[in-house]
Chain A
Amino acid sequence: MKKNVVEAHDLVKTYQLGEVQVEALRGLSLHIRRGEIVAIMGPSGSGKSTLMNILGCLDRPTSGQYILDSEDVSQLSDDQLADIRNRKIGFVFQSYNLLQRTNALDNVMLPLRYKRDNANNHTEMAAAILERVGLKDRMNHKPFELSGGQQQRVAIARALINNPSIILADEPTGNLDSKVGHEIMQLLLELNKEDNVTLIIVTHDSGVAKITDRTIHIIDGKVEK
């Protein structure tokens, strides 16, 4: 049996919005195995984004336990979370989020900049990954010189550079037309097959969800049974 890379137990997240207390997550539990491709779907207001933030270690649950790669990360400090994000999580955003003034290579190397090691082969590492996502000839191009699909490939390369435990993709094809979107999905699937990297995709697109191993539906802050 494959080991769980993500284990969430009874996650609760409440926000204080002025006088009102909003419960975004109400005791949500889920497990994701290493190498699995999971889609997370749910209407807006379902707590999907909150779940993404917690799974991505951008936020902490009010209560409950989140174990990522056998490490309890539920109540770590900001700096510890930053370190976890750096080492274990790769993000792919809907709007790519590349730094506009630096080229593809530097964008891919960005996470290495915050990695606390003394390796100096960063450029070679980034170049190798860009080659894998099919951007060998575009390494020195800046984001505005690249198409949407190419920019998302750069973002995927950036997510991969630290060899993360999970890749969190938030509507990765949302800004792309269906053909390019399909190519991006194929790339993600390919990487999953080759590296056994766990893929968590938040999406509205049922077409995207169909290609995944499993779809988790979130409604009212809980996993729909």
Chain B
Amino acid sequence: MNAVRFFKEAISSLLSNKMRTFLTMLGIVIGVAAVISMMAIGNGAQESITSSIESMGTNLIFISQNNDASNPEALTLSDATAISEAATQYIAAVAPSVQNSMSVSYSGNSITAQIYGVTPEYESVRNTAVSEGSFITQSQVDERSTVAVIGVDIAEELFNTTQNVVGNKIRMGSYVYTVIGLLEKQGGSFSGSSDNQVFIPITTAQARIISRTNAHDEISMISISATSSDDMESAIEEVTKVMQNQHGILGGEGNDFTVMSQESITEAASSITGVLTIFLGGIAAISLLVGGIGIMNIMLVTVVERTREIGLRKAVGARKRDILTQFLIEALVIGLVGGILGVLVGAGISAVISKIAAFSETVLNPKVSFSSVLLSTLFSIGVGLVFGIYPANRAANLEPVEALRTE
């Protein structure tokens, strides 16, 4: 039969009770909007995490202690030295670092920052550039100077400015440090941003910031840059060999250190945010399901209310199938229109969140993907159909005699 006619009829019958239709639809609208915006936020988070990791450079290798190993031997400066001594053409630079978080203060202002003890190589390995002053030099490392290079957030917080900060004296723990450099603004709120970091010579850090009971030689991490991103595998292999040698690990034994590349971190982060996206989407999908139950509820009421109409339609020749189709199409229209409105609302929410994120300088760009639009629209139509079947079937199976008798 004429499909357009069916739809016209369904729409006119839905319009005959606008308030109820709207409320029924609202369940679907909210459900779809939730799915769309949650997926968009998840995708946006994934993208900004990935890009912030990638901004560290594609040829980075990190070595850290493997805490899953039994009795792991700590990383030491001599490990770093061994790697740089054994370095072949695959490895460009090696930068050991120690890390701790600590309060930094300047005339009453104070902020908790990540303190890194580094060598001059850190600047090139980790792509950190100074916008004012200079980075840590070898002689400062040798002399254990009390000097610091700070990130823009730190400068903002302590001096309320990011201009002419070199020369200021800041306090960390019981020592006073002279600011010798300000880092370029990096942006991004995820790992890898140096805006909230303070760099001091590694020797100074080992002596004054990191309190270790045993070896002062201990370090937190070794950052290594490969000569090119094409040589990553060879570089990782080489580094691993040197480290196994250093820590006396025989072939077949588990390593007590972890070698990670920027790529593997990106992968790990992506899989985490992927799970997050699915999780958020799943929770949102539950509300869509609840919306579907709303459809079923209202359709059941509608069937009871329109029993006489159904009786009449049957009396003038409507078959079971005709009645079934009529009610299914009504449910489908609710699902479809609700789905479309939901996509629009969801896109709106994503846009608002993106504005809020931009306003608070958080890098988060919710992305409404075509696949999530398609998926949730199809899902809402499906929900309409599935939850419409029971009421529609009930309508179709009404006995015409009984239906006509109802008041």
Contact = CB atoms under 8 A, between A and B. Distances in A.
A86 interface: yes
Contact of B313 (A53, A59, A110): A110
B247 interface: no
B316 interface: yes
A82 B13 CA distance: 23
B12 A102 contact: yes
B320 A114 contact: no
A149 interface: no
B276 interface: no
A56 B405 CA distance: 14
Contacts of B16: 100-101
Interface in A102-135: 102, 110-111, 113-115
Nearest to A155: B312
Interface in A142-201: 158, 162
B316 A158 contact: yes
Nearest to B405: A49
A99 B316 contact: no
Given A93-B404, A97-B312, A110-B313, A82 B12 contact: no
Interface in B317-337: 317-322
Interface centre among B1, B318, B322 (most CB of A within 10 A): B318
A56 B312 CA distance: 12
Given A53-B401, A58-B400, A93-B404, A99 B309 contact: yes
B314 interface: yes
Contact of B5 (A100, A113, A115): A113
Contact of A110 (B316, B319, B321, B400): B316
Given A101-B16, A102-B12, A114 B313 contact: yes
B316 A79 contact: no
B318 to A, nearest CB: 5
Contacts of A162: 317
Contacts of A58: 314-315, 400-401, 404
A99 B316 CA distance: 12
Contacts of A115: 317
Interface residues of A, number: 25
Contacts of B308: 97
Contacts of A86: 316-317
A56 B317 contact: no
B32 to A, nearest CB: 28
A59 B316 CA distance: 14
Contacts of A66: none
Contacts, number: 58
A79 B319 contact: yes
Contacts of A222: none
Contacts of A102: 12
Given A53-B401, A99-B309, A99-B312, A78 B319 contact: yes
A91 B320 contact: no
A85 B315 contact: yes
Interface centre among A58, A82, A99, A115 (most CB of B within 10 A): A82
A48 interface: no
A158 to B, nearest CB: 7
B308 to A, nearest CB: 7
Interface in B1-44: 1, 5, 12-13, 16
Interface string B93-112: 00000000000000000000
A79 B319 CA distance: 5
Contacts of B12: 101-102
A114 B404 contact: no
A113 B323 CA distance: 12
A109 B286 CA distance: 43
A111 B320 contact: no
B230 to A, nearest CB: 69
Interface string B299-317: 0000000001101111111
Nearest to B311: A97
Contacts of A56: 315
Interface centre among B5, B311, B313, B319 (most CB of A within 10 A): B319
Interface in B378-407: 400-401, 404
Interface in B266-319: 308-309, 311-319
A114 B312 contact: no
A97 B223 CA distance: 84
B317 A87 contact: yes
Given A97-B308, A113-B5, A83 B315 contact: no
Given A111-B317, A113-B5, A114-B316, 6 more contacts: A82-B318, A83-B319, A86-B316, A93-B404, A114-B322, A115-B317
Nearest 5 CB-CB pairs, A to B? A86-B317, A114-B317, A111-B316, A101-B16, A82-B319
Interface of A: 53, 56, 58-59, 78-79, 82-83, 85-87, 91, 93, 97, 99-102, 110-111, 113-115, 158, 162
5 contacts: A79-B321, A82-B320, A87-B317, A97-B315, A101-B16
